[in-house]
Amino acid sequence: MKKLLLSLAALAALCTAAPGPALADTVRLTYSNFFPPANHQSQLAEAWCREVEKRTGGKVSINYYPGGTLTQAQQTYDGVVEGIADIGLSCLAYTRGRFPVMAAVDLPLGYKNAAQATETANAVYARFKPEELADVEVMYFNGHGPGLLFTTSKPVSTLEELKGQKIRSTGNSAQLVKALGGTPVAKPMPENYQLLQKGVVDGSMHPIESNLSFKLGEVCKFGTDCFDVAYTTVFFIVMNKAKWAAIDPESQSVIREINTQWAAKHAQAWDEADIEGRRYLIEQGGTVIELSAEESARWVEASRPVIEAYIRETDARGLDGAAIIEYTRSTLQ
C-alpha cells in the first residue's frame, strides 16, 4: 500500500509539474475574421494560421474565429489593439477617417484587378509607414477587385443615363456616385439584394465577385465596365504588438515570408471570384456594357472632386494629400 501511495504521489507530481521547454515556448494566439467560414477570404485566413503553425514548428499556435464570433467587423481593429483578439482581419473603411493615408488606396483611381489593388495597398504602407497604424503590428493588406456599377432595369453607358438613378453605395463609392450624377443610397451590402429586388434602388456599386457571393447577379441585369474610375476596399491583417513581441525573431522572420505569399494568394482569390461573378451575371441573363474611350474620360473628369476632397481633408490633418495620391497612382502604372 505504501508503494502504491508513493507511486500515486509521483504521478500527481508529474501531472502538476511545469510544462517542458517546447510547450513553454509556444505562443498561443487568437485570430478574428468577420468573413463566414465558407468564404474564400476566410479559408485563406485559416490556411495562413495553419501555415504559420507548420513553418514555425509549433512555436506559434493560432485559434481561428471566423464569422465575427470573436469581434465584429467594425470592432476588429480596436479588438486587436486591446487584446480581445491577437490577430484580426477586417477593412479600414469600417472606421472612416481613422486611416487617412491608407484611405487613398480606396479612392476611384482606376483599378483593373485585385492583384493591382493588393500591390498598391502594401506599397503605400511600405512607402509611408503611417502613424495611424502604429498601435498594431501590420501583417499585410489585400484589396478586392474593381468596384463597378451594376443596374437592374436600365443600362448605363453615359453620364446622362446615370443621372438621378438611386445607387446603393457607401463611403468612397457613394462619393463617386454623387460625383457622376447619381443619387447614393448608403446601405450595407447584406441589405443590397432586397433593395435591388424591390426597386428601392436602381443599381449598386460593388465588386464583380459580389454578383455571385451575394447573388446580386440575379437582380442586376446590366454591368457597366467603368474601369477607369474603379475603386477597391483595403482589408488589413494586423497583430497585437505585445503578442508580436512575444514571438521569437526566427519565427517572426518566417511569418513575414508567409505574409508576402498570402497577400498574393488573397489577391488571386479575389480575381478568380471576379471571373465567377461576371460569369454568373451573364448566366442570369445579364449584359455587360463597355464605356467608349471618350465616355470613360468624361467619367474620370467627373470623379475628380472625390480625389480633390481627399487631398483637402488630408492636408487639413497635416499630411501631404497630393504626395500620397501621386505615389498611389504611380503604383498603378
Q: Return mean pLDDT, the chain.
A: 92
Which comes out higher in pLDDT, residue 66 or 6?
66
Q: Binning pLDDT at 50, 70 and 90, where does residue 13 land?
A: very low
Residue 180: closest CA among 220, 114, 230, 233: 230
Q: Binning pLDDT at 50, 70 and 90, where does residue 333 land?
A: confident
147-231+283-330 has the same fold as 22-95+114-143+233-274: yes
What's the pTM? 0.89
Alpha-carbon dihedral sign for residues 39, 42, 48, 50: negative
Per-residue confidence (pLDDT) for residue 1, from 0 to 100: 39
Q: Looking at 33-37, 215-219, 261-265, which range is the least confident one?
A: 33-37
Domain 22-95+114-143+233-274 in CATH 3.40.190.170? The answer is yes
Q: Binning pLDDT at 50, 70 and 90, where does residue 315 land?
A: very high
Residue 6 in this model has a pLDDT that exceeds 50:
no
Per-residue confidence (pLDDT) for residue 8, from 0 to 100: 37
> Distance between CA atoms of 324 and 326, rounded to whole angstroms?
5
- Which CATH entry fits the domain spanning 147-231+283-330: 1.10.10.10, 3.40.190.170, 3.40.50.410, 3.30.460.80? 3.40.190.170
Q: How far is CA 82 from CA 30, 71, 238, 241, 326, in A?
A: 13, 11, 12, 10, 34
Residue 151 in this model has a pLDDT that exceeds 60:
yes
For 45-67, write each residue's pLDDT tens digit: 999 999 999 999 999 999 999 99
Residue 89 in this model has a pLDDT that exceeds 90:
yes
Phi, psi at 323, each rounded to 5°? -65, -40
> Distance between CA atoms of 61 and 30, rounded to whole angstroms?
9
Per-residue confidence (pLDDT) for residue 2, from 0 to 100: 37
Q: Where are the domains of the chain?
A: 22-95+114-143+233-274, 147-231+283-330
Residue 96 in this model has a pLDDT that exceeds 90:
no
Beta bridge partners of 33: 89
Which comes out higher in pLDDT, residue 3 or 151?
151
Contact 105, 195 (CB under 8 A): no
- % of the chain beyond a pLDDT of 70: 93
> Distance between CA atoms of 133 and 99, rounded to whole angstroms?
8
Distance from the Cα of residue 243 to its chain's centroid: 23
